[in-house]
């Protein structure tokens, strides 16, 4: 037989709580605080419940992109494809780079960063699970009027945790942020991608969002995910980087662009051949290739017509016509291939 239910004091308090609803009028009349918009049209925003993610393979330039974000935020200049809506000060929470590396990365922009960018000195690493550490970070944010906190990399916060512990790590990071809405900064996390499987098809663009090292908690909790990848993964000398907005919960646009990586800056590549890039991925062919790949389609001392050479490039590499002619011109100018008459070419002996 069931016992008769007798309400306790706690039950009475809970019964007084009401689940509120938003009417269409509430939504129509809602005005977003413009000071919460930091980067883009809602791509990166201030708020204690928001994470934003920069991810890519090792060596792609994620830390440079993060420093570039801080630099652009200090000056109010566009970052990649995104306008800076509200200039901000930045606090880096990182343990990978010492003063020597940071000096190298910030060379030439010290005056722009002075008084606007700060790095937490963490000789013993991060201690988000300890209250004193979270309170110290919170105090620095308030004292310096920090508008953005960048954690670089996430593996130093949660090196090897399961799904439940990842969620706890995220909550501990969020607990470092001030409770006051006007003092809470935007939070950006830098994360590595898992090493690609050499035997499988290489993922590109937005698909890489699902390759973040560790739990998928990070991408699911993030409101914005920016993926960085090499425009030509086979050529280490190619400093072009493709930047893709893979997720944007609070914005309508998901831009994609190519930039040339500098020490602390990224310059747009306006003539990047997107049709060739996308067509190569669609065919399952290599999306990028080098001059040597095109030259070596000819045997030493072999003479071929331009049309035959172009057909070989299309069949073997999935290369577009315009890109082939660029390589053909470069090959002849470097004398890797000799033009012996109009429309006929010969590769010299090795």
Tell me what pLDDT residue 178 has: 92
The residues near 240 (Cβ < 8 Å, ≥ 6 apart) are: 230, 231, 232, 258, 259, 260, 261, 269, 272
Tell me what pLDDT residue 319 has: 75
Tell me what pLDDT residue 116 has: 97
Tell me what pLDDT residue 88 has: 96
User: Among the listed ranges 22-26, 45-49, 74-78, 133-137, which one has the minimum average pLDDT value?
Assistant: 45-49
DSSP symbol at 50: -
pLDDT tens track for 139-176: 999 999 999 999 998 888 876 666 777 888 899 999 99
The answer to whether 264 and 64 have CB atoms below 8 angstroms apart is yes
Tell me what pLDDT residue 245 has: 92
CA distances from 345 to 290, 296, 309, 340, 349 (A): 19, 13, 9, 6, 13
Q: What is the mean pLDDT of residues 244-255?
A: 87
> In this structure, what is the dihedral angle of CA atoms 212, 217, 218, 222, given to the nearest 10 degrees?
130
Higher pLDDT, 138 or 313: 138
- Topology annotation, domain 33-272: Rossmann fold (3.40.50)
Q: What is the mean pLDDT of residues 21-42?
A: 90
Residue 76 has pLDDT above 90, yes or no: yes
* pLDDT above 90: percentage of residues in the chain: 46
pLDDT tens track for 257-292: 999 998 778 999 988 888 777 765 554 445 567 888
Residue 37 has pLDDT above 70, yes or no: yes
Identical fold between 33-272 and 281-346: no
Q: What is the mean pLDDT of the chain?
A: 85
- Topology annotation, domain 281-346: Arc Repressor Mutant, subunit A (1.10.10)
- pLDDT band, residue 202 (cuts 50/70/90): low
CA distances from 14 to 5, 224, 349 (A): 15, 36, 86
- pLDDT band, residue 5 (cuts 50/70/90): very low
- pLDDT band, residue 214 (cuts 50/70/90): low
DSSP symbol at 315: H
**Where in the chain are the domains?**
33-272, 281-346
The answer to whether 229 and 206 have CB atoms below 8 angstroms apart is no
């Amino acid at each position: 037989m069931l016992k008769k239910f007798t309400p306790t004091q706690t039950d009475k308090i809970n019964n007084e709580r009401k689940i509120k609803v938003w009417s269409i009028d509430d939504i129509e009349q809602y005005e977003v605080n413009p000071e919460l918009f930091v980067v883009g049209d809602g791509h990166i925003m201030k708020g204690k419940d928001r994470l934003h993610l920069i991810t890519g393979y090792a060596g792609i330039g994620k830390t440079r992109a993060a420093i570039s974000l801080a630099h652009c935020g200090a000056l109010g200049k566009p970052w990649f494809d995104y306008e800076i809506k509200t200039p901000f000060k930045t606090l880096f929470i990182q343990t990978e780079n010492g003063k020597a590396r940071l000096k190298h990365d910030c060379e030439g922009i010290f005056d722009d960063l002075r008084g606007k960018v700060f790095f937490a000195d963490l000789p013993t690493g991060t201690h988000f699970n300890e209250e004193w550490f979270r309170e110290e970070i919170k105090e620095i944010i308030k004292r310096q009027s920090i508008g953005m906190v960048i954690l670089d990399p996430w593996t130093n916060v949660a090196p090897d945790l399961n799904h439940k512990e990842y969620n706890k790590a995220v909550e501990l990071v969020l607990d470092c942020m001030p409770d006051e809405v006007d003092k809470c900064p935007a939070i950006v996390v830098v994360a590595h991608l898992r090493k690609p499987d050499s035997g499988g098809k290489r993922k590109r663009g937005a698909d890489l969002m699902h390759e973040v090292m560790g739990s998928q908690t990070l991408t699911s909790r993030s409101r914005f995910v920016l993926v960085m990848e090499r425009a030509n993964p086979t050529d280490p000398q190619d400093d072009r980087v493709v930047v893709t907005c893979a997720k944007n919960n609070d914005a309508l646009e998901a831009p994609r662009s190519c930039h040339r990586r500098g020490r602390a800056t990224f310059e747009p590549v306006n003539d990047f051949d997107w049709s060739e890039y996308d067509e190569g991925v669609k065919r399952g062919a290599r999306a990028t290739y080098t001059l040597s790949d095109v030259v070596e389609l000819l045997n030493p001392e072999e003479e071929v017509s331009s049309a035959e050479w172009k057909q070989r490039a299309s069949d073997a590499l999935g290369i577009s016509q315009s890109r082939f002619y660029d390589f053909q011109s470069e090959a002849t100018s470097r004398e890797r291939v000799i033009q012996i008459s109009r429309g006929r070419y010969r590769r010299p002996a090795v």
